[in-house]
């Protein structure tokens, strides 16, 4: 069995690969008992002559090829979300182009799922920003996506978090937007662990109190809400909210710590999925969902549970740096030829962190080609002076 010396607790320790990769197999979303979206990352162009911290450069061919891979596995694509570094390196001009290109690719594949993030990230938060400015910003992005035939994921707004004086301001904004959208949307409540600028969203720093405002909005517009994705990394809060949703409104888990049990559900319901980790473990997630659809619950957990420690590591605090782990795994798996990221965020995690990610990905069966992954891990070690 192949082995590699990896950093652990300040020294190099030999690790022997032991995992059995879950094979890539094409599937149809109709085979799944849950709606499942992967929030997809973008592939940076390492040959572009740009300032990586300031001007994103995207490898469009590899980025779109990755979306086709997700669709081939039966998963939907959640486009231009925070996994794509939206508002964290990827600006609205680039997101708009990403959405346009991805929707064009989707039109050539009948039956695939895609939904696109609409927010206010082209509007910089500031004391001069009004609620009317925020409404106009949301409407502008929604109009752009709907003009391309896209379905909306209504993203949380940093500008709204900064400008709102009370929960009533959130109600006003969401009432207005939801009354206008052409198709039912997915609301995304992104927690402050993912984006500190969203602290106190829905007008309250207490998540349970904030939940009441969010539910009020959903209940008033249940016909315009397909579902809500909450990313609070708390299965208890997700379950509490899930049980209060109006009939027909889905809970899309955004809990990258507890997704296996939330998707499996309980006697009172289950969660669908819109997850950043599904980008990194797409073949495993696809196989697990197929097993669940055929009533093989034990196999579902046997496949998905080993990925949970990997996901918890990738999404550990500071959680906003999870994109580094997602892209690193894409590099290890040969889905891109480099470990470069928009904004230079390949530097956001330590070599020790990446080494533990390698071990956990192997144990989870998430290294598609262990020999290739081993070779690429050695390259990353060499860059850090470890031969």
Distance (Å, whole) CA 92 – CA 103: 16
Q: Could you read off the pLDDT of 345-386 as tens digits, one per residue?
A: 999 999 999 999 999 999 999 999 999 999 999 999 999 999
SS3 (DSSP) at 231: strand
In a domain, 77, yes or no: yes
Its domain, for residue 200, covers 31-348
Structural contact between residues 367 and 361, judged by C-beta atoms closer than 8 angstroms: yes
Q: Residue 193 carries which DSSP code?
A: T
Which runs of E-coded beta strand occur in 60-184? 76-79, 114-118, 152-154
Question: How many whole angstroms from its chain centre is CA 176?
Answer: 26
Buried b (16+ CB within 10 A) or exposed e, 64-82: bebbbbbbbbbbbbbbbbb
Integer Cα distance of 33 and 49 in angstroms: 46
The CA–CA distances, whole Å, from 10 to 6, 218, 283, 353, 372 equal: 10, 50, 33, 12, 26
Residue 280, SS3?
helix
Give the mean pLDDT of 113-127: 96
* Residue 383, in any domain of the structure: no
Is 74 among the domain residues?
A: yes
CA 361/CA 170 separation, integer angstroms: 40
Where in 80-170 does DSSP place strands (E)?
114-118, 152-154
- Whole-angstrom Cα distance, residue 352 to residue 82? 24
* Domain presence at residue 84: yes
Residue 153 region, left (φ>0) first, then alpha (ψ -120 to 50), else beta?
Answer: beta
pLDDT band at 163 (very low <50, low <70, confident <90, very high): very high
In a domain, 165, yes or no: yes
H/E stretch holding 357 reads helix 351-363
Count up the domains in the chain and report the number: 1
Domain CATH code at residue 164: 3.20.20.70
Mean of per-residue pLDDT scores for the chain = 97
> How are beta strands 11-16 and 76-79 bridged, if at all?
unpaired
Per-residue pLDDT reduced to its tens digit, 169-214: 999 999 999 999 999 999 999 999 999 999 999 999 999 999 999 9
Q: Residue 7 domain-assigned?
A: no
pLDDT at 333: 98
Residue 327 forms part of a structural domain: yes
124 exposure class (CB count in 10 Å sphere: 0-12, 13-18, 19+): exposed
Render pLDDT for 264-285 as a digit per residue (tens, 0 to 9): 999 999 999 999 999 999 999 9
pLDDT at 1 over 80: no
Region 142-155: what's the mean pLDDT?
98
How confident is the model at residue 19, as a pLDDT?
85
Could you read off the pLDDT of 24-52 as tens digits, one per residue? 999 999 989 999 999 999 999 999 999 98
Q: Is the pLDDT of residue 53 over 90?
A: no
Instruction: Report yes or no on 360 lying in a domain.
Output: no
How far is the C-alpha of 161 from the C-alpha of 36, rounded, in Å?
A: 28
In this predicted structure, what is the pLDDT of residue 275? 98
> Which residue, 350, 360, 347, 241, is CA-closest to 311?
360
Output the pLDDT for position 387.
85
């Amino acid at each position: 069995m192949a082995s590699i010396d990896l950093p652990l607790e300040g020294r190099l320790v030999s690790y022997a690969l032991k995992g059995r990769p879950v094979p890539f197999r094409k599937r149809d979303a109709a085979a799944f008992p849950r709606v499942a979206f992967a929030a997809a990352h973008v592939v940076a162009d390492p040959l572009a002559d740009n300032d990586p911290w300031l001007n994103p450069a995207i490898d469009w061919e590899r980025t779109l090829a990755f979306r086709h891979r997700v669709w081939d596995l039966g998963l939907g694509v959640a486009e231009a979300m925070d996994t794509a570094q939206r508002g964290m390196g990827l600006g609205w001009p680039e997101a708009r182009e990403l959405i346009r290109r991805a929707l064009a690719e989707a039109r050539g594949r009948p039956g695939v799922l895609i939904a696109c993030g609409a927010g206010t990230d082209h509007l910089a938060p500031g004391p001069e920003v009004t609620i009317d400015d925020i409404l106009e910003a949301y409407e502008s992005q929604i109009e752009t996506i709907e003009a391309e035939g896209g379905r909306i994921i209504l993203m949380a707004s940093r500008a709204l978090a900064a400008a709102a004086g009370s929960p009533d301001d959130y109600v006003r904004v969401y009432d207005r937007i939801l009354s206008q959208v052409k198709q039912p949307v997915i609301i995304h409540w992104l927690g402050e662990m993912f984006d500190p600028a969203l602290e106190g969203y829905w007008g309250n720093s207490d998540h349970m109190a904030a939940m009441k405002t969010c539910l009020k909005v959903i209940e008033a517009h249940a016909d315009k809400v397909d579902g809500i994705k909450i990313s609070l990394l708390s299965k208890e809060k997700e379950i509490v909210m899930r049980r209060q949703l109006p009939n027909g409104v889905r809970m899309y888990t955004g809990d990258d710590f507890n997704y296996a049990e939330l998707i499996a559900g309980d006697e009172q319901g289950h969660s669908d999925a819109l997850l950043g980790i599904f980008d990194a473990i797409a073949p495993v997630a696809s196989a697990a969902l197929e097993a669940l659809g055929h009533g093989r619950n034990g196999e579902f957990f046997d496949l998905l549970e080993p990925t949970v420690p990997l996901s918890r590591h990738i999404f550990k605090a500071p959680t906003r740096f999870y994109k580094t782990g997602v892209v690193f795994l894409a590099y290890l798996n040969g889905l891109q030829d480099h470990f470069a990221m928009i904004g230079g965020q390949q530097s956001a995690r330590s070599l020790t962190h990446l080494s533990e990610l390698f071990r956990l990905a192997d144990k989870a069966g998430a290294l598609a080609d262990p020999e290739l992954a081993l070779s690429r891990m050695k390259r990353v070690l060499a860059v850090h002076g470890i031969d």
